[in-house]
């Protein structure tokens, strides 16, 4: 079961139409994938969430410590990577490199033991997971509220039960946009808003007060992820649940988030926060604080499969006869890397995604398309 090879691949797509959120504009998508291969030729796939060139450099750093090691020992290998990076990278992109390798190791472990990752994690609690549509970004030109309203209508017709939109342009514009989207969706679909930490505490309080009338299911990253006290204070001042955690890392980071009572919903990204090994522990810890876990995803089918496998296993607290479904994020922006690179392709039916049953993550990369999307 020895690891023979660790390869990284940066795949890229130039977007036909750029889009933006409160922080910057996207003109392309670029993702670093990792393939870990054993002596017997069996391989597993992972990916990192973060700037692809930096994720790749982190994988290069970890490689020599892992070659020749037993791939089944996911916990030990995680610890080796952690100890070698701790002094420089208690947060941030090196942990995305660690996460990418960890995800690939879980894929491999499932293939070696002939079971899906959710079974390896302790068992499947469900066969399908609700996916919420992430879209409704900002585009240039007049008539944004109308365009958002049309896009929201599309998600409704596709069968999504929950949709997330961007805020963070300005309070007045946000109110107009949210009103247009809520009217378009109707009242029976969950609507969440995400500011990507665009606002000060005072602004976030003001926007939350204004948005309460639109029945918002959560307000995501209202303020800087560093300002735990502002999150906690905002939670007390609004009836809208508060979400965050896509910029948080490791058990230690999430412990701070939970102990400060900052969020109702925590959103670790498996491909950044420490991989499947660590996010399983974060999910267990979240339950002890009464916090709901909804994994953040922003990548290829590998990241989606990892989130599905984890969501298939985690406990949705507090537990009752008709408990709510597990939920994951499903980005709907233009992304051929998500739509074409991996098989199976994850298309929700009636807003739900099936958790793959095949060994490991249950997803594979198309060789030809990998070459096609490789960046020079």
Q: Are the CB atoms for 346 and 330 separated by under 8 Å? A: yes
- Which residue in 84, 161, 296, 372 is the catalytic one? 296
**Nearer to Mg ion among residue 297 and residue 342 (C-beta):** 297
Picking from 69, 139, 132, 137, the residue whose alpha carbon sits closest to that of residue 104 is: 69
CA distance 134 to 295: 12
CB atoms within 10 A of CB 179: 16
Q: Is 372 noted as a catalytic residue in this protein?
A: no
CB of 125 to Mg ion, least distance (A): 25
CB of 157 to Mg ion, least distance (A): 24
Picking from 306, 304, 311, 266, the residue whose alpha carbon sits closest to that of residue 286 is: 266
**Nearer to Mg ion among residue 194 and residue 248 (C-beta):** 194
**Nearer to Mg ion among residue 109 and residue 164 (C-beta):** 164
Q: Which of residues 162-201 bind Mg ion (CB under 5 A)?
A: 194
Q: Which of residues 20-79 bind Mg ion (CB under 5 A)?
A: none
CA 89 from centre of chain: 20
Starting at the edge strand found earlier in the chain, the sheet holding 43-48 runs 3-20, 25-38, 43-48
**Nearer to Mg ion among residue 151 and residue 246 (C-beta):** 246
- State yes or no: residue 329 binds Mg ion (CB under 5 A): no
Picking from 40, 78, 33, the residue whose alpha carbon sits closest to that of residue 59 is: 33
| Owner of token pair 């939109």 | 165
Query: Which residues are CB-neighbours of 324 under 8 A, at least 6 positions away?
Result: 316
Count the site residues for Mg ion by CB under 5 A.
Answer: 1
CB of 220 to Mg ion, least distance (A): 5
Q: Which residues of 42-60 are buried (b: 16+ CB within 10 A; e: fewer)?
A: bbbbbbbbbebebbbebbe
Omega prior to 318 cis, within 30 of 0 = yes
Query: Which residues are CB-neighbours of 245 under 8 A, at least 6 positions away?
Result: 225, 254, 257, 263, 266, 267, 268, 273, 296
CB atoms within 10 A of CB 371: 10
CB of 135 to Mg ion, least distance (A): 12
Burial class (CB in 10 A: 0-12, 13-18, 19+), 175: middle
Q: Which of residues 206-265 bind Mg ion (CB under 5 A)?
A: none
CB of 301 to Mg ion, least distance (A): 20
**Nearer to Mg ion among residue 21 and residue 106 (C-beta):** 21
CB of 23 to Mg ion, least distance (A): 10
Binding string, residues 262-281; x marks residues near Mg ion by CB under 5 A: --------------------
**Nearer to Mg ion among residue 6 and residue 133 (C-beta):** 133
**For Mg ion, which residue has the nearest CB?**
194
CB of 196 to Mg ion, least distance (A): 6
Dihedral of alpha carbons 311, 364, 111, 2, sign: negative
Q: What is the 3-state secondary structure (H, E, C) of 26-69?
A: EEEEEEEEEEEEECCCCEEEEEECCCHHHHHHHHHHHHHHHCCC
**Nearer to Mg ion among residue 45 and residue 49 (C-beta):** 49
Which residues are tagged catalytic?
Answer: 296
User: Residue numbers of the site for Mg ion (CB under 5 A)?
Assistant: 194
């Amino acid at each position: 079961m020895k690891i023979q090879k660790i390869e990284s691949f940066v795949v890229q797509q130039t977007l036909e139409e750029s889009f933006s959120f409160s922080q910057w504009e996207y003109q392309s998508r670029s993702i670093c994938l990792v393939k870990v291969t054993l002596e017997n030729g069996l391989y597993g796939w992972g990916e990192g969430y973060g700037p692809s060139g930096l994720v790749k450099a982190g994988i290069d750093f970890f490689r020599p410590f892992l070659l020749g090691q037993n791939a089944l020992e996911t916990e030990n290998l995680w610890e080796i990577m952690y100890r070698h990076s701790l002094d420089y990278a208690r947060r941030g992109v090196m942990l995305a490199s660690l996460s990418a390798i960890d995800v690939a190791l879980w894929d491999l472990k499932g293939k070696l033991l002939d079971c899906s990752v959710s079974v390896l994690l302790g068992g499947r609690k469900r066969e399908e997971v609700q996916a919420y549509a992430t879209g409704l970004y900002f585009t240039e030109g007049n008539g944004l509220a109308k365009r958002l309203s049309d896009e929201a209508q599309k998600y409704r017709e596709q069968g999504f039960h929950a949709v997330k939109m961007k805020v963070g342009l300005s309070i007045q514009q946000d109110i107009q946009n949210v009103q247009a989207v809520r009217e378009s969706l109707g009242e029976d679909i969950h609507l969440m808003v995400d500011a990507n930490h665009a606002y000060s505490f005072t602004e976030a309080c003001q926007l939350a007060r204004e948005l309460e009338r639109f029945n918002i299911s959560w307000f995501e990253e209202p303020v800087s992820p560093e300002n735990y006290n502002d999150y906690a204070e905002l939670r007390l001042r609004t009836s809208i649940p508060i979400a965050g955690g896509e910029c948080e890392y490791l058990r230690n980071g999430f412990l701070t988030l939970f102990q400060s009572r900052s969020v109702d919903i925590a959103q670790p990204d498996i491909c950044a926060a420490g991989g499947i090994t660590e996010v399983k522990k974060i999910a267990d810890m979240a339950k002890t604080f009464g916090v709901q876990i909804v994994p953040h995803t922003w990548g290829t089918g590998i990241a989606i499969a990892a989130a599905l496998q984890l969501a298939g296993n985690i406990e949705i607290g507090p537990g009752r006869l008709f408990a709510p479904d597990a939920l994951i994020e499903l980005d709907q922006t233009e992304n051929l890397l998500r739509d074409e690179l991996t098989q199976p392709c994850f298309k929700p039916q009636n807003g739900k995604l099936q958790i793959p049953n095949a060994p490991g993550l249950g997803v594979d990369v198309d060789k030809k398309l990998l070459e096609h999307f490789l960046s020079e």
